[in-house]
Chains A and B, each alone.
Chain A
Amino acid sequence: AQSVSQHNHHVILSEAASLELGCNYSYGGTVNLFWYVQYPGQHLQLLLKYFSGDPLVKGIKGFEAEFIKSKFSFNLRKPSVQWSDTAEYFCAVNAGYGGSQGNLIFGKGTKLSVKP
């Protein structure tokens, strides 16, 4: 069965620090990869996604992620975080094919707190 692991439960950074959140998945076939963000009191929003092509993908608000197939990883990065990046971040995967390919498998999430 597919699974997603997020290594950090809670990350605390000061503004302007660099961010890297780890995500590993287990699935042998073609996958689509996503990072979702949930700001306090708001719904889940898509931050970025990878389907194919360039393994370095750029998303909104200066975030980027790199897909490394050999490591089954899709880590999220931002060179300089802001207080407004305080949120919970979820890595997710779905199958690239099949009848239920739209079903997302989520990691447990990483809570990011940015100190002003």
Chain B
Amino acid sequence: AAGVIQSPRHLIKEKRETATLKCYPIPRHDTVYWYQQGPGQDPQFLISFYEKMQSDKGSIPDRFSAQQFSDYHSELNMSSLELGDSALYFCASSSDLDTQYFGPGTRLTVL
């Protein structure tokens, strides 16, 4: 069965640079979620989209923005990167508020 796809899988950036993470949800899933997981931490909700509209917002810094496109893929844009942004970023998708299925994650390292 098709799973959530994320790219890139690994990303290394310098402080103050910009990063874009991409997520391709499971086909026919209408909701996409973004989570950030620091080392040894639980995943923290950032933002979600339902049918291409932002539906909920969590602890997402103002330096970050996200959108969902007409083909349902989503991108998380991160600007003015800080050392503390180093984390695993997961995208998840679901259908009709059912179980969220998580992608493999993007490991972002900010140097």
A joins B in a complex: no
Task: List residues of chain B with CB under 8 Å of any chain A CB.
Answer: none
Task: List residues of chain A with CB under 8 Å of any chain B CB.
Answer: none
